[in-house]
Amino acid sequence: MSTLGSLLSNAHLPDSPTARLDAELLLAAALGKPRSYLHTWPERIATREVATAFAAALERRRGGEPVAYILGRQGFWSLDLEVAPHTLIPRADTELLVEAALECLPAGAARVLDLGSGSGAIALALASERPAWSLLGVDRVADAVALAERNRQRLRLDNAAFRESHWFSALEGERFALIVSNPPYLAAGDRHLGEGDVRFEPLSALVAGPDGLDDIRRIVEAAPEHLDAGGWLLIEHGYDQAAAVRELLSARGFAGVQSRRDLGGHERISLGQWP
């Protein structure tokens, strides 16, 4: 029988840039323990069941499958979220969108919309930080709405709700103080579609026409009909799309149009205020 330490030492993931972290996460999941257990008890003997489950998970990872899909969960903001292959994997870059949204409005009562909610990551992060806000997350995929609702229930965030809607299609007459979205923004044929975890994520949540801006155009055009006076629209986009998104916002009549940079120095979100 192998020790936990030897299982990790022999876990070869040559194509992963985070091989050691991947192996630790997969072994901890097979054990049903936190990662810290592996560092505290590396000499513990792994049972046959644990070793078998770990080997199966490693094989899936060697095939390129994202760790988040193998585990069925992903951390985002301060939350542990259930994820599934019909939604995008929440990424740390998107936390910039949450930070900007929290800066736009005071902590008092406000109605906030998350367009294309997926696993519910953005809406639930905002709900966890602003108990007085009322969050609505919408997605056109029924399975994504059900997943987001499961996350909401498990996290006991009663100030959030989820609904099936293709962008604003099921929101006629409804208005919000703030609208946030991480929509599809890759161009059809983008080289990133064949790389890394993206290969396993749903194309419908990634690709938006020849230049990647089709869905952003729809959102910018329709958002004013659903914003309160003085309300904000915040959109995540590709690293090289900020100028184009600012132009779309300004042309539609938004004021205070600006972009924010991520930790890598790329302009990754743009925002504007409806007058």
Query: Mean pLDDT for each 10-residue chunk of the chain (275 residues)?
Result: 87 86 92 90 89 93 92 94 91 94 94 97 98 97 96 98 97 98 83 68 74 94 98 96 98 97 93 97
* Token pair for 54: 């770990």
**Domains of the chain as residue ranges with CATH:** 4-64 (no CATH), 84-273 (3.40.50.150)
Which residue matches tokens 């108990």? 131
- Measured CA to CA in angstroms, residue 88 lies from 66, 117, 190, 247, 250 at distances of 11, 10, 17, 27, 29
pLDDT of residue 112: 98
- CA 204, 207, 209, 215: dihedral to nearest 10 degrees? 70
3-class DSSP assignment, residue 21? helix
- pLDDT tens digits, 165-181: 999 999 999 999 999 99
pTM above 0.95, yes or no: no
pLDDT of residue 41: 86
